[in-house]
Structure 1
């Protein structure tokens, strides 16, 4: 616990007054650039340290980014009194061991998605957070963006009626065959990209996944290059998504219900310079019950004149800044978070069930 904070029993440390949240970067991955930019945009945060296993690399990185402290050891940075929260951007299979060490050092952690990749790992993080009175948060920046909150609200308010299905795509061409995202220890398009639609579906629908079916294409790689998924949620809602490292850029999401649909032009929000639009299409009349005869001549159901279309556009919101500010509110103000570890656990269980299904070519139950 740092001198500028006050620790409350049973709660994460809350930094009081005009405190600034001091960040340390565990690793020098490319994704750090987004956090550097986001922290630079906030007047309540600053980056004070960076760590790499290579001290020269850490030093060069710190000078280039204007970071005051650099460390050639992850453990040494965790001992630094000028760090309150650690951003963990290490490879997927290192998230849990270092997340636990961050917590044991008495520091909060924002850990890149996917938070965990094995059954039982979530419990390790939960115990570490509880035992040390700190916050551990999955860094799925899309989850904190106002667009995701809008989609969740529109569905919960019944704007599209009863949800029936959701679909999404996230694909691009991975340029290098030695990319760490293809490592067999926790790489592949499902782990790297699939967590986005799974997180979005869970956030917007708010329904428990029941069973899944997965389809995998490895294309000679140790990890999957393309993954197709079907998910059955409670209440009979169906979800489908496709992720790929071998396609032209593709990103889309759609939620369809009994009275309308939501179509999102850029749901994943990883490129902050791109605007995103939510198209809302709803019926102007109630749905008539099924009849035994088709004498109304409507071969495909609704006609265009029975629909109203509206749009919401997001141009200026930065998902990474929203993520940083969410951590500020939790740590500096003691506010509850909007993306609990329990939700991360459901998302992880869904991915594990999809892998089980794809490997065995069968439908798999989701075990939370």
Structure 2
């Protein structure tokens, strides 16, 4: 009976997360939670975010019996060491059954441990950036950096913990447009509150050029990388974001832009309304909340489709969320955040597709081990290089 118990609890947890649990099964799960403090802690840990209603279609495609059998096998392997190791992986991917392969479920493989040579050199990203002032001077910004950086022509630039703040003591009139540039390196993130009150979250490997003070006609910034915008409403002055070949026009809204994929620009709208214009053709597409406009270099217009917005925006809240994404794209995201290089010994694994989520600030070895536990893809870490094989 002892060996039958773990898979029963896993099954009840899965039913609960999918919303298909009966009253009797819920009572059975509650009894288990009350038996030990660590049981209750595990239950609360894996239920701490409302992820499942949004991604239910992923779970419904899974072969429950096969997934539970394999997960139960892994649980037995670690049972002698207690629930701590199982809990660690549950907190990363909410069970291996949430990870889906590109053409079938890959649960028959044996677990292969991650080689973590010098893994201590790899750390999660933190708040850091470089501010380039209009006279060319560079100011290095870091977490908890609170100071007045610049006071000039009615504009004060202040560092406030994890962000820059621009404030103006004058009216809207400006004699000349002066630009600053904020560069966020790999392994960094930063925020900036522009002179009009707009808040911008800049992800790793991102650069944004912007006026220290906007003129009366428009508010225009230039972006390379990934950023989330919360734009202050101003009907008289549209807010414009220009990238390579594309311009986004908005009057007051929240949206995410990502240019990290070469030749591909993705704009996802959270609320409000924006127009995405292809500069070469002049064609503009207006998208509504819950939609993504995707531009591929060489096209005359953007492709618009409905998406799960959280997949594209949760990074700013400390979560990596992936929905049927290629392993290569996932590792590109991780390489920017952890400031590492990735080398593929087995090229074919790039095309595996996965869905799941993980905390952005976790140790990289926990994330890599969770992927290995689920798929059999192996990682060896040499210095600040992750080597991927099958």
State TM-score, norm by structure 2.
Answer: 0.27
Larger relative contact order, structure 1 or 2 (CA cutoff 8 Å, min sep 6): 1
Which structure's residues are more often strand, by fraction?
A: 2
Which structure's residues are more often helix, by fraction?
A: 1
State TM-score, norm by structure 1.
Answer: 0.28
